[in-house]
Amino acid sequence: MNTLVINCSPVRTGATAKIVETVSAILSSRSEVKTVCIDDYKFSYCKGCRSCHKTANCVQTDDVDLLMAEFEWADIIVSVAPSYWADIPGQFKAFIDRCTPWCNTHEPHKTLSPGKKGYSIALRTGPNMKECDRIIQSIEHFYGHLEIESKGHLGLVSVEYKEDLEPKIKEITEFAQSIIT
């Protein structure tokens, strides 16, 4: 089984990266794991031209196809996203927008291999879970249009720095273990 764990934040050393590292270490006991950071890829914003609605291809050529190749490789995809103004980071949103050629709301469209499972982890600095829910909804909506089955999610509040994760390690560990059982 192949698992892709995505740091949806451009920050490679913060709390989101620490969650990616923790989850990946647990999943690697039963799965081949790749971790990526959204900032590992360079791509432009969607132009809104809708050419992909007719051709299933984007008019732009950049790293979107490389990241989508990682999605194709994976059986399980875990997206870990912090709150940027109560939603997913702009870099991840820009990537999602560019995945319109794979979106199942128009024909023709590209497709990923069937049977993929998706998991979401959201974190935010404040104490209210509502923002985490919004982030999870954004990720699960994206998964749905790619026909990736959403299987579970975890929201973590009061996390600004990676040190804030210490009291939450058990919860993160249990969530990661539920992915591989």
Q: pLDDT tens-digit profile of 144-175?
A: 999 999 999 999 999 999 999 999 999 999 99
Q: Which two tokens stand for residue 119?
A: 């998991």
Residue ranges of the domains in the chain?
2-179
Over residues 74-94, mean pLDDT: 97
Give Cβ neighbours of residue 26 (< 8 Å, ≥ 6 apart): 173, 176, 177, 180
Q: What share of the chain is helix, strand, coil (3-state, %, to 5)?
A: 40, 20, 40
22 burial type by CB count under 10 A (0-12 exposed, 13-18 middle, 19+ buried) = buried
pLDDT tens string 30-76? 999 999 999 999 999 999 999 999 999 999 999 999 999 999 999 99
The neighbour count for residue 116, using CB atoms within 10 Å, is 20
Domain 2-179: which CATH class? Answer: alpha beta
